């Protein structure tokens, strides 16, 4: 694994949800799921390595860039002997899959993506996802949420702790301060915001943690008061 010995993974600082490119990954522990967030590449993309703490199974969300760092993170995360078995690409834009081919070549992990974006990803998608499908690894089950507007086939992934907090990985569909880019197209904007409202804000509580494809985390409670403002401004 090229260069992994020199990659710093952990930081002594508390989880802040805002690692910078080139900085160590930040790690959050939930009941059965460990979330390691790392920023990579020239577009400050977030990649998320998820580990089932009961079985050691590992899944990566968005092999966006810097595959050596992503592979190093996988090797460093306990249990080190557990391989990466699945990679989900949230959507077909190139900045979210620049490291995918190398990660798959090194690990043989199974690839997943939304049905309508799979053809835009130059690594074959083995698991095509529709709304309501699930991706399981170890004892963790992620629910696929299909959101249209930023792309035709964007997929968010939701995990809910038993009797507790939810965690949603939203790709480029929801950020602190608004939904993802829709290129000043009113129909695409309405499609995306309506989908985010219907499938995320209407179904999940205010303590739900949101992990976007770029930048820092947020919660639904922080963003919910601004929904009407977003709709009025049109972006």
pLDDT tens figures, 168-195:
999 999 999 999 999 999 999 999 999 9
Which domains are seen in the chain, by residue range?
A: 4-233 (3.60.15.10)
pLDDT band at 9 (very low <50, low <70, confident <90, very high): low
Distance CA 145, CA 132 (A): 6
Task: Provide, rounded to the nearest whole percent, the portion of the chain with pLDDT above 90.
Answer: 92
Task: Give CA–CA dist 73/53, Å, rounded.
Answer: 16
pLDDT of residue 13: 58
Cα separation, 57 vs 78, whole angstroms: 10
Eight-class DSSP state of 230: H
Question: Which residues make Cβ contacts (< 8 Å) with residue 147, sequence separation at least 6?
Answer: 154, 155, 156, 170, 173, 192, 195, 196, 199
Average pLDDT for residues 199-219, to the nearest whole number?
Answer: 98
The 10s digit of each residue's pLDDT in 114-160 is: 999 999 999 999 999 999 999 999 999 999 999 999 999 999 999 99
| CA 35 – CA 94 distance, rounded (Å) | 24
Is residue 12 pLDDT above 60, yes or no? no
Q: Which of 70, 67, 61 is nearest to 114 (CA)?
A: 61
| SS3 category, 103 | helix
Non-local (6+) Cβ contacts of 194 within 8 A are: none
Determine contact, residues 219/209, Cβ cutoff 8 Å.
yes
Q: How far apart are CA 216 and CA 195, in angstroms?
A: 22
pLDDT confidence tier of residue 202, bands split at 50, 70 and 90: very high
User: What pLDDT is stored for residue 163 in this prediction?
Assistant: 83
Least confident stretch, 74-78, 96-100, 110-114, 219-223 = 74-78
Burial of 127 by CB count in 10 Å (0-12 exposed, 13-18 middle, 19+ buried)?
middle
Give CA separation, 193 vs 93, 159, 217, 230, in Å. 19, 21, 18, 8
Tell me the pLDDT tens digit for each residue of 35-85: 999 999 999 999 999 999 999 999 999 999 999 999 999 999 999 899 999
pLDDT score recorded for residue 135 = 98
Cα 191–Cα 209–Cα 112 angle in degrees, nearest 5:
65
Position 229 pLDDT exceeds 60 = yes
Question: What pLDDT sits at residue 100?
Answer: 98
Q: What is the largest CA-CA distance in the chain?
A: 51
Please tell me the pTM assigned to this model.
Answer: 0.95
């Amino acid at each position: 694994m090229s260069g992994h010995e020199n990659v710093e993974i952990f930081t002594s600082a508390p989880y802040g949800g805002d690692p910078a490119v080139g900085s160590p990954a930040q790690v959050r522990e939930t009941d059965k799921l460990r979330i390691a967030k790392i920023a990579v590449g020239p577009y400050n993309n977030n990649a998320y390595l998820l580990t089932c703490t009961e079985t050691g199974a590992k899944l990566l969300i968005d092999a966006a860039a810097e595959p050596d760092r992503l592979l190093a993170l996988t090797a460093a995360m306990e249990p080190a002997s557990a391989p990466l078995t699945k990679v989900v690409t949230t959507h077909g834009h190139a900045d979210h899959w620049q490291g995918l081919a190398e990660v798959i070549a090194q690990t043989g992990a199974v690839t997943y993506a939304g049905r309508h974006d799979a053809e835009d990803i130059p690594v074959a998608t083995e698991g095509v996802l529709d709304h309501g499908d699930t991706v399981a690894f170890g004892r963790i089950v992620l629910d696929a949420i299909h959101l249209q507007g930023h792309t035709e086939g964007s997929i968010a992934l939701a995990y809910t702790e038993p009797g507790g907090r939810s965690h949603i990985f939203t790709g480029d569909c929801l950020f602190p301060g608004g939904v993802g880019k829709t290129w000043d197209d009113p129909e695409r904007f309405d499609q995306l915001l309506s989908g985010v409202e219907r499938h995320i804000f209407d179904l999940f509580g205010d303590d739900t943690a949101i992990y976007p494809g770029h930048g820092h985390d947020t919660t639904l409670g922080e963003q919910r008061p601004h929904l009407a403002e977003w709709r009025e401004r049109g972006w």
